[in-house]
A and B are shown apart, each in its own frame.
Chain A
């Protein structure tokens, strides 16, 4: 802890010094560094413009918009069932999780609730997409910090999860499996046993990553005390998911929101960390992957029998009204504000994606840090480009 205190103080002094130099109107040594939009050190096509003084960042801002696809406009000309195809592509590593809040919002407006069996399967698939998403993060994290091995393990073990998702839904990345009133199909035969075996493998993967990465001295010294976000700042910027819990806020929408899903049928823990630094954010995600495998294991044993689809009309018209539903997606709080006019398609959909808020803190967070730490901080904030730009 003393180490953390020192580092916090150092980063504070550095930011003060950077400010002071900025006030001298950047007379000589200033340099603008452009990272991206295609650069191995950034995910996807995020571009960061950083003004440097020596090795220190004086001012930095991500330039978004290289992947803006205008989903909010497109939803206005589509029918409700057609929207799931679009929203699948927002966070492409955990696609199924994107469909769920939209479908729940439409169901809320219609007053329909999916049958219990569908709720269980939805929750299981939701957690599987979280595991697929976050396991890639855990591997990628190593690459960002110079460790190559974890990424091979991550890609190997994520493949097991993707195979499960594919055998249940037909799509590895874009399942498009959720329907208003339930699910497209039931689970295939033998899927439950297979999933149990995979969950065991994934827990082994978590242990391996913990040994390889989190116990590594270099990893620790590069993440501890780097990019500290205090609780109040995290809340003000609307950070969510692991980023918020790493700043000590005990809030998980899976536990704290009443949704027609099956999370409250399983026994699991919400992890928080008091430090708010890069290490805390990574550590929380590792623990969450473990918890997810636990949730899946418990729910697999108790899936009730019954239909997977409620009675809904063939042509879906959603009654007039406004609804907001958000869920705890792999990246954080993902929600849809749906305004309906009793039509075949929505009147307006506001897509609240987690990464947009999570990355909006970077101009504040990157001030005063050293250049190599930019990569650490961006990696630990964890964003998906499609989730920023929508």
Chain B
């Protein structure tokens, strides 16, 4: 079955969602799925509206994206050579954006099964947005995870302790400028498989 067959009910909901959000909606994008971008200062109230007025009661997930391309590429550089220059121009995805970091969440209407992805810009200087844990209780842990991995602070969150990393861990692992150390200390062999076959010559290709 084609994925475009249920476009019709989604289009009707696009108008409904846009009308409910009014001027809090900055931008939107519609292609099989619906992406919305709301004003940073209206993040919580927009989610509240989506839940109460449009019926998106089911909380799917919340996370963030760092839109700056990684200065380390895909970790395939030779550590003995000087690092190549890379284009790190920030370019946002669907529904646009103005900041390097964006938080996005997906919520669903459990009756009509229509879902939206809601994005919001996170100000570059303060890296703080409102917490929505009292709109969607499930956002509590997702915000903790996002805080830990991206260093984004959530105003009004009761408890932003680390979930995974040690308390004294420095840096934010999912930011693009956080290097993947495993790839830094031993170069990745790349697409060519250089593992010697069993019974083959021992050590062949291992020094590369």
Contacts and interface: CB of A to CB of B under 8 A. Distances in A.
Contacts of A108: 3, 32
B91 to A, nearest CB: 8
Interface residues of A, number: 48
A65 B165 CA distance: 7
A324 to B, nearest CB: 6
Given A70-B173, A77-B74, A238 B164 contact: no
A258 B6 contact: yes
A311 interface: no
Given A76-B70, A322-B93, A350-B61, A360 B138 contact: yes
A260 B4 CA distance: 11
A235 B57 contact: yes
Given A73-B180, A258-B1, A345-B74, A324 B110 contact: no
Interface string A232-261: 110111100000000001010000111110
A264 interface: yes
Contacts of A300: none
B106 A249 contact: no
Given A258-B1, A335-B60, A345-B74, A77 B137 contact: no
B128 interface: no
B26 interface: no
Contacts of A324: 33, 106, 115, 117
Chain B facing A: main interface SS: loop
Contacts of A350: 61, 63
B174 A73 contact: yes
A249 B93 contact: no
A64 B1 contact: no
Interface in B126-148: 136-138, 140-141
B59 A238 contact: yes
B61 A77 contact: no
Nearest to B31: A321
Given A251-B113, A322-B93, A324-B106, A360 B141 contact: yes
B123 interface: no
Nearest to A67: B164
B99 to A, nearest CB: 15
A322 B65 CA distance: 12
A169 to B, nearest CB: 21
Interface in A25-82: 64-65, 68, 70, 72-74, 76-77, 79
A322 B34 CA distance: 11
A256 B113 contact: yes
A236 B57 contact: yes
Given A70-B173, A260-B1, A389 B137 contact: no
Nearest to B5: A258
A309 interface: no
A360 B65 CA distance: 22
B65 A237 contact: no
A264 B76 CA distance: 43
B69 interface: yes
B35 interface: yes
Nearest to B73: A77
A77 B190 CA distance: 11
B67 to A, nearest CB: 9
A129 B204 CA distance: 39
B6 to A, nearest CB: 5
